Amino acid sequence: MRINNLDYLRGFMAFAIMVYHYSSWTLHPFKSDSVLGVLGIYGVGIFYILSGLTLFVVYHQKLELSSLKNFFIKRVFRIFPLLWLSILGTIFLSGTKFPLKTILLNATGLFGVIEIDKYIATGSWSIGNELVFYLFFPIVLLIGNKKKWFLELFFALSLAIGIGFAFYFLNSNLPISEQWKTYINPFNQLFLFVGGMLIGKYFKNLKNNELSLITLIVSLVILSLFSVEGDLVNIVTGVNRFVYSLIGFGFTFSFLIGEVKLPKWLQFILSQLGHISYSLYLIHPLVFWTFSKFSNRLEQPYFYMITCYSITIVSSLIIYYLVEKRFMNLGKKLVFKLKTEN
């Protein structure tokens, strides 16, 4: 079951993260008072919300102990081929000799559990987080299907842990770069994923364009008016952490319940952007640093970025159809074969 609006939002966030990275690598770093800086951080947070939401919508009625193997097979075929490609590309481009242990942890995805800060591909720390969430998801869903308030209680627990990070484990007086390992801890992001599951539980069948529009406008107004100064650590600590997280939940809720009819050509563009969001996210750093070997990004920064945007989108489309989609289909065929054999 695909919800087109959520694909659109996923594509928007992947594109925003790419713009954030290309701009910060070419022009200047962004602070907490820039919308692009906020999107660069919370675009990933919205990925987590979307992941929890979509997994709940797809599996809340059909996941059982007997089908856990099928769930993980599909996740492996969805996540790992492109992760491996980005790891190999990063090793080749950087020329860095990574320790064998680091390579193995990244190739197996275990870095997300054992050494989250030892990721190789730029941005793949979030994939490590996602893989940890996949371990929680079936347990929470299966127990939640039997115990009425379990999901709500688990969200409260994950939120309490998030509060611990926002107010105690992260220091608002130190730059986020000096606390990166703490920030990217999957338990600091867990409440976003579980919150997405909660949205799915209560609103998966709700369609209300007026409420969608109101929620979207309120979220945009708060994003525009709520300004925080200084290092990006200031938007991931204290009360600010939850104001911006609430905005992320608002965007996701708005896109979930809205049913806006768009022109077919625009639907096609937005759906393609949603399809390639994973490729866009992991491939854009490789494109940027590859092109930097042939062009000086500081001499003509805007030309450089536009060129990188174009190459990244085309490359992501090719990779989606030649790599991602093929492996997803292989995963589905393997699951179907296992079902028929049983």
Q: What is the pLDDT of residue 338?
A: 79
Instruction: Supply angle C-alpha 61, 64, 69, rounded to 5.
Output: 125
The token pair at 335 is 């699951």
Q: What is the pLDDT of residue 262?
A: 83
The token pair at 101 is 């242990």
Q: What is the pLDDT of residue 294?
A: 82
Q: Where are the domains of the chain?
A: 4-341
Q: What is the pLDDT of residue 201?
A: 95
Q: What is the pLDDT of residue 2?
A: 62
Tell me which residue of 112, 91, 77 sits closest to 334, measured CA to CA. 77
CB atoms < 10 A from the CB of 259, how many?
A: 10
* SS3 assignment, position 155: helix
Q: What is the pLDDT of residue 295?
A: 83
The token pair at 91 is 């090793």
The whole-angstrom separation of Cα 68 and Cα 92 is 36
Q: What is the pLDDT of residue 95?
A: 83
Q: What is the pLDDT of residue 287?
A: 94
Q: What is the pLDDT of residue 118?
A: 94
Q: What is the pLDDT of residue 109?
A: 94
CB-based contact 245:192 (threshold 8 Å): yes
pTM: 0.95
CB atoms < 10 A from the CB of 256, how many?
A: 24
Q: What is the pLDDT of residue 342?
A: 66
Please report, to the nearest 10 degrees, the dihedral formed by the alpha carbons of residues 323, 326, 330, 332 taken in order: 120
The whole-angstrom separation of Cα 87 and Cα 69 is 26
Tell me which residue of 199, 187, 52 sits closest to 132, measured CA to CA. 187
DSSP string, 95-113: -----HHHHHHHHHTGGGT
Digit-coded pLDDT (tens) for 284-335 = 999 998 988 888 887 888 899 999 999 999 999 999 999 999 999 999 999 8
Q: What is the pLDDT of residue 299?
A: 83
Residues of the chain with pLDDT under 50: none
CB atoms < 10 A from the CB of 184, how many?
A: 19
CB-based contact 226:242 (threshold 8 Å): no
The token pair at 217 is 């406008």
Q: What is the pLDDT of residue 1?
A: 52
